[in-house]
Structure 1
Amino acid sequence: METKKKNKIIFLNFLPAIDSSYSNKGSIYPCTASLLLGTYLNEHEFDVKIIDGAYHQDYLEQLRELLSEDVLYVGMTVMTTQIPFALEASKLIKDFCPLIKVVWGGPHPTLFPEQTLRNDNIDIVVINEGTSASLALAQAFVTNRPLHSIHGIGYKDQSGNIIFSESACLDILEELPYFDFSLIELDNYLNSSSSSVYQREFQSYHDKVRVLPILTALGCPYKCQFCFNVITKRKYRIRSAESIVSEIKHLMSQYNVNTFFFLDEDFFINKKRAFEFVDLVEKEGLHFNWRMWCRVDHFKEKYIDRNFIERLAAIGHGSLVMGGESANQEMLDALKKGITPEQILHSLRTITGTRIMPRYSFMVGLENETLDQIQNTYRFCFALLKINPEVDIAGPFIFRLYPGSPIYDRIIKRYDLDIPKELEDWVIFLQNESCYTHMPWTPEKFQIIAHLLPFYSYFAFLRTSDKKSSIKGLASYFMHQLSKFRIKHFIFKIPFEYWFFMRYLR
C-alpha cells in the first residue's frame, strides 16, 4: 500500500484582538502574511491551505476538517493581542495529533521567542521575517533533515531543550512572488458590504468597491518610538514602479479590481519611485482607487505639492493615511516622529479640494503627557475638521502598553510593571487590560475617564449624513453632537448614554 505523501501545510489567521468582532466582514481584506507564505510554498509544490479566522467565525471547525497526519505543520502569525486565539488553535492541533508541528511567527514570538517555546503546544518559532524559513522548515520535515541549519528560528530538541539558530537575513523583496489569490475564497473579500470602511473611503464612480492589497515595500527607515520596526531593525526595501504597475494591470484584468491597498509603511519614502509610479500610471492610462500611507513632512515644494496631489487624484479616488500622533510638539519629539503640527495642517490644506480623503491617526495617554496636552490633541482634531469636513480622524487612540516598541520597554522598566512571564498569562492580561485602569505614566484624572474616551471619540469624529429622517439617523446625529460636546469640554460625569449602549446595544 502506497504511503500518503506528507506535503500539506496550513496557515491560520486571526482577528486583530479579543475585542474585535465579525460584524462587518466588508472591512476585512485577505491576510497578507498567510498569502505571501502560502504563495511562496505553493510555488515550491507544497499543498497550502489558508484559513482566515478574521473572516470565518468557524475557523476552528475548518481547522479540524483539514487536520490529518499528512500535515507537515500549521503556521500562525501572532501579535500579542492574538495570543488567546492562537493558543486555542494550537491546543486543538496537539489534541488531534501531537506529531503535527505548530509554528508561530510574527511580532510576539519575535519579541518573546523563549517564552513562546516554553509552551507545550508550540514546537517552533520563526523570528522576524520568515518567508525563507517557512520553506526551509517544510523541506526539512519532508527529508527529516535537522533544524539547526535553518536560520532565524527557535525550536525544541528531543529532550525539550530550547535551541536558537543563527539569525536569518531579511527577505529579498525582488525574490518574493505576487500574491496568489487562488489560495483563498477571493469573492468573500471582493464583494464587500456597502457599510464597509472601503465604501466610506472610496466613494467613486464604481457601485461596488473591489479591493485587494498589493505589497510594495518591507521595513521602514524611521525611528518612531511606538513602532515595532524600531526593535526589529527591518531595513526598508522597495519594489520598482514597473513591477507595481505590472501587478496592478494583472489584478485589474484577472479580477476586475478597482481599488488597491498599497502595503508600504510609507509609499513616498523613495521620491524617485513615487514619481516614476505616477508617470507610468499616466502613460498606461490606468484609473483605480487607492489607499497609501504617507508622512506629513513629504508635503513640500518639488515633492508632494498641489500639482502632485492633483496628479494622484486623477488616478482615482484616493485615501492618504498619515500619522499625526499628537498636537503637541513635546510629544512628537518624545516619539521621535520628526514632524510638527504645522506640517500636519499644511498637508491637509494641500489635499483639501481634491477627491483624496485625508486620514490622520492620533494617540493620547503617552508618557509624561499632561491633561492639557491630551485635550489639545482632541481640540486639534476638531480644528482639522473645520478645515476639511471630509477628513477622517482615526482615534485619538489610547496608548496601549503592548510589547514591540522602545516606549514599552522604557515604561516597564521605569514603573517596575509586571508583565506576563508565561504565554498563558497573556490571555488573562489581555482580558483585564481592556479596563484601562492601570496607567501610572498618565495623569490620575485621565485614568478615570480613559475607558470612556474611545466610545465618545468614535461618535464625535463620525462623519454623519445630513439626512436625519430615520430613527437611526437621528440617533446617530444626537450621539455625534453629544459626544462632540463631551470631548470638547472634557465633561464625562454621569455618562448615561455610554451605560445604555454598553448594556443594551453592545
Structure 2
Amino acid sequence: MRKTLLTYIKPHVQEDPLAMILGIAYLGGAMEQQGLPVELADERILNDSEMKETIERNDVIGFSALTPNIRRAIAWAKYAKEKGKITVMGGPHASVDQGIFLDSGHFDYVIKGEAEETLPQFIKAIEGGNDEDIKAVAGVAGVREGEIWVDNPAPPLIKKLDDLPLPARHLIPMDSFFKMNPERLAYIFTTRGCPFKCIFCQKELTGRGFRVRSTELIVDELEHIVKTYNPGVVLFVDEILTLRKKRIHEMCDEILRRGLKFEWIANTRADCVDYPLLKHMHRAGCRRIYYGWESGSQRMLDVLKKDLTPESIVEAAKMTRRAGIWAKVYLIVGSPGESPADVEETERVLRMASPDLVRVSVFNPLIGTESWDNYQANIDLTDLRDNYVSSNRSAYVHEHFTQIELEQIRKDMVRNYEKWYYAYPQRARRMVERTLYYLENPTFAKKRVGRALGLVPPPSNKIDHLHAG
C-alpha cells in the first residue's frame, strides 16, 4: 500500500513561537483511523536534506502551507515530482486558488475544504487506481497532461466535530518543538468557523458558521496533553474562543473540577469577553489573551468591517488587566483609505488601552476574501505573482503611503508604543493596578508574597518575563 506524507512548509520568516501544526495532525489522525499508512513532517524542524529523505521514502506527498509560503510549497512539489511522487495540495489557499498549484505543472491534485473525511477517501481511490473513484471524492481537482480532468466542489463543512479523531500528536516529534520553544507551547482546537465579516479573512475552509466540540472531549484532550507532554503553555487556536461565554464557563469549571494545573492562552475579540468570564478564565489557568483589534480608528474599523468600537477595545483591555491576564493585540496598517490621522488615532487608543504587547502587520487583500473582490484595482498583480505576501509588505498599492512608508509606520508604531509602555509613569500605574488586583484576589497575593520571600516555589511553567512590570 502506498504511504502518504503530510508536510507543513515553513515560512520564509518564523515570527510566531514554534509549535506543532494541528492541521496535518488532524489529517494524520483521520488517516490512521482508516488504517492508512501516514507520516507527518514539519519543514520548520527539518533541514533540506532531511526533507528530501522524507519525501523520497513516501509515495503520495500532501502539502500544507500558509499563503505567504506557497512558492516554497511549489518548489518542494517540483522536487517530489522529479522523484516520481504523486503530489497533492490542501488548505485554505488551495480551496480558493487551485490554479496556482495545478497550473505550476508540479501538482497532480488539489483537495479543497476540510479534508479529514475526503483525504482518506482520496488515498483509497488512488490506491485502487480507478479514475471514477477519484472523481467521486468531494473537493478533488486534478490535472493530466496540462488539462483539468476532475474538478469537484468542496464538501460540506463537517458538522459534528466530536466525531473527528484526535490530532495525531504521537506522529510529530513534540520534543523537537519543545527544544526550539522554551515555553513548550502546545496547541488545541475547540471550535471551527467565525460568524464575523472582517474583509481580510479567508473563510472558505472553515466557514462563517460556528461549530463546537463538547466540553468533556475538550477537557479530555487537555488532560491528555498536560499529562503526556507536560507543556509550558497551551494555546487555544480557535479564531474566537469566547464567542459563547457559557461554553467557556463550563470548560473552566471542568478544568478546575479535575484539578488540571496548566497555563493557557486564548484568541478572541474585545466584544466577546466580560469581567466575570475573564476572572473565571484566570482561575482556570488563562494567563494571556490575544486580541485582533486591527485599528483604533473607528473609520478603519468600519472599513475592515470589524464591528468593534475603540471604546469596546479599551474597556476589554482594562477588564483583562484587572482580571490578572496579560494581553497581546494585533493591528493592521495600510488599510484602504487610511490616513496619517487614522494612524495617530490608533496610537492614541493603544496608549489608552495599554496592552502588554503589540504586533503590527501591513494590510494584505488575500484571494478569496472581500478585500480581494473590492480592491483588485489597487493590487499589483505582478508584485503579487513574484513575491506573494507577508505580514511586513503587501501588493496593495495604497492611496496615501508607499510600501516603504508603511513598513516604517509599522516599525514606528511598535517602537513608539514600547518606549511609552516601559517608561516610568506607565510602570508605576501598572504597579498600582497589580496591587488592586491582589487586594481583590488575596489567594494570588499570598502566592506572590510567598514567592518573593522564597516560601513558595515559583510556577513550573514560567511566563513571568512576558509580564512587564
Partner of 1:101: 86
The change in CA–CA distance for 1:447 and 1:213 in structure 2 (over 3 A counts) is closer
Partner of 2:166: 178
Partner of 2:98: 113
The change in CA–CA distance for 1:193 and 1:64 in structure 2 (over 3 A counts) is closer
Identity of aligned residues (%): 23
The change in CA–CA distance for 1:426 and 1:89 in structure 2 (over 3 A counts) is farther
Question: Over residues 321-353 of structure 1, what are the superposed CA-to-partner deviations in whole Å (9 max), with x where a residue is unaligned?
Answer: 111111111221222211110001111111224
Partner of 2:407: 451
Using the alignment, how far apart are the partners of 1:464 and 1:241 within structure 2? 41
Say yes or no: does 1:355 pair with 2:324: yes
State the AA in 1 paired with 2:246.
K
* Structural mapping, 1:154-193, within 5 Å: 154-157=141-144, 160-171=147-158, 172-193=160-181
Partner of 2:302: 333
The change in CA–CA distance for 1:74 and 1:243 in structure 2 (over 3 A counts) is same
Residue 118 of structure 2, aligned match among 133, 149, 165: 133
Partner of 2:31: 41
Using the alignment, how far apart are the partners of 1:383 and 1:180 within structure 2? 43
Contact conserved, 1:114 with 1:162, CA < 8 A, in 2?
A: no
Contact conserved, 1:313 with 1:355, CA < 8 A, in 2?
A: yes
Question: Over residues 34-92 of structure 1, what are the superposed CA-to-partner deviations in whole Å (9 max), with x where a residue is unaligned?
Answer: 11111211222222222211233x1x322321344x73411111333112210110111
Using the alignment, how far apart are the partners of 1:345 and 1:434 within structure 2? 26
Say yes or no: does 1:85 pair with 2:50: no
State the AA in 1 paired with 2:148.
N
Partner of 1:250: 224
Contact conserved, 1:231 with 1:405, CA < 8 A, in 2?
A: no
Residue 193 of structure 2, aligned match among 191, 204, 219: 219
Say yes or no: does 1:228 pair with 2:190: no
Q: Matched residue of 1:352: which SS?
A: helix
Using the alignment, how far apart are the partners of 2:184 and 2:24 within structure 1? 20
Contact conserved, 1:170 with 1:234, CA < 8 A, in 2?
A: no
Residue 241 of structure 2, aligned match among 267, 288, 298: 267
The change in CA–CA distance for 1:439 and 1:47 in structure 2 (over 3 A counts) is closer
- TM-score by length of structure 2 reads 0.82
State the AA in 2 paired with 1:126.
I
The change in CA–CA distance for 1:123 and 1:28 in structure 2 (over 3 A counts) is same
Using the alignment, how far apart are the partners of 1:287 and 1:159 within structure 2? 55
Partner of 2:462: none
Contact conserved, 1:124 with 1:155, CA < 8 A, in 2?
A: yes
State the AA in 2 paired with 1:105.
G
State the AA in 2 paired with 1:43.
Q
Using the alignment, how far apart are the partners of 1:263 and 1:39 within structure 2? 18
State the AA in 1 paired with 2:410.
P
Partner of 2:128: 143
Partner of 1:298: 272
The change in CA–CA distance for 1:162 and 1:118 in structure 2 (over 3 A counts) is farther
State the AA in 1 paired with 2:80.
I
State the AA in 2 paired with 1:14.
I
Partner of 1:394: 359
Residue 430 of structure 1, aligned match among 376, 381, 388: 388
Question: Over residues 122-143 of structure 1, what are the superposed CA-to-partner deviations in whole Å (9 max), with x where a residue is unaligned?
Answer: 1101112222221111111111
Q: Matched residue of 2:197: which SS?
A: coil
The change in CA–CA distance for 1:360 and 1:230 in structure 2 (over 3 A counts) is farther
Offset of 1:217 from its aligned partner? 1.0
Using the alignment, how far apart are the partners of 1:86 and 1:328 within structure 2? 37
Using the alignment, how far apart are the partners of 1:219 and 1:333 within structure 2? 21
* Structural mapping, 1:481-500, within 5 Å: none
Contact conserved, 1:317 with 1:355, CA < 8 A, in 2?
A: no
Using the alignment, how far apart are the partners of 1:67 and 1:293 within structure 2? 34
State the AA in 1 paired with 2:33.
E
Offset of 1:448 from its aligned partner? 5.0
Offset of 1:256 from its aligned partner? 2.1
State the AA in 2 paired with 1:341.
P
Question: Over residues 416-437 of structure 1, what are the superposed CA-to-partner deviations in whole Å (9 max), with x where a residue is unaligned?
Answer: x4525xxxx856233899666x
Contact conserved, 1:8 with 1:47, CA < 8 A, in 2?
A: yes
State the AA in 1 paired with 2:76.
A
Offset of 1:261 from its aligned partner? 1.0
Contact conserved, 2:267 with 2:289, CA < 8 A, in 1?
A: yes
Say yes or no: does 1:63 pair with 2:51: yes
Say yes or no: does 1:419 pair with 2:381: yes
Contact conserved, 1:157 with 1:163, CA < 8 A, in 2?
A: no
Contact conserved, 2:333 with 2:410, CA < 8 A, in 1?
A: no
Using the alignment, how far apart are the partners of 1:433 and 1:327 within structure 2? 19
Partner of 1:370: 339
Offset of 1:366 from its aligned partner? 0.9
Count of residues paired in the alignment = 420
Offset of 1:465 from its aligned partner? 11
Offset of 1:452 from its aligned partner? 1.8
Using the alignment, how far apart are the partners of 1:260 and 1:65 within structure 2? 31
Question: Over residues 268-300 of structure 1, what are the superposed CA-to-partner deviations in whole Å (9 max), with x where a residue is unaligned?
Answer: 11233112112212222222111111111123x
Q: Is there any run of 5+ residues in structure 2 with no aligned partner, and where?
A: 424-469
Q: Matched residue of 2:147: which SS?
A: coil
Partner of 2:433: none
Using the alignment, how far apart are the partners of 2:405 and 2:222 within structure 1? 46
Contact conserved, 1:80 with 1:403, CA < 8 A, in 2?
A: no
Partner of 2:311: 342
State the AA in 1 paired with 2:7.
L
Using the alignment, how far apart are the partners of 1:341 and 1:231 within structure 2? 30
State the AA in 2 paired with 1:38.
G
Question: Over residues 189-243 of structure 1, what are the superposed CA-to-partner deviations in whole Å (9 max), with x where a residue is unaligned?
Answer: 234544xxxxxxxxxxxxxx33211111111111111111279735321111111
Using the alignment, how far apart are the partners of 1:431 and 1:350 within structure 2? 35
Say yes or no: does 1:280 pair with 2:270: no
- TM-score by length of structure 1 reads 0.76
Using the alignment, how far apart are the partners of 1:105 and 1:231 within structure 2? 10
State the AA in 1 paired with 2:266.
M
Partner of 1:410: 374
Partner of 2:43: 53
Q: Is there any run of 5+ residues in structure 1 with no aligned partner, and where?
A: 1-5, 195-208, 468-506
Partner of 2:63: 76
Offset of 1:13 from its aligned partner? 1.0
The change in CA–CA distance for 1:27 and 1:158 in structure 2 (over 3 A counts) is same
The change in CA–CA distance for 1:34 and 1:350 in structure 2 (over 3 A counts) is same
Using the alignment, how far apart are the partners of 1:126 and 1:316 within structure 2? 38
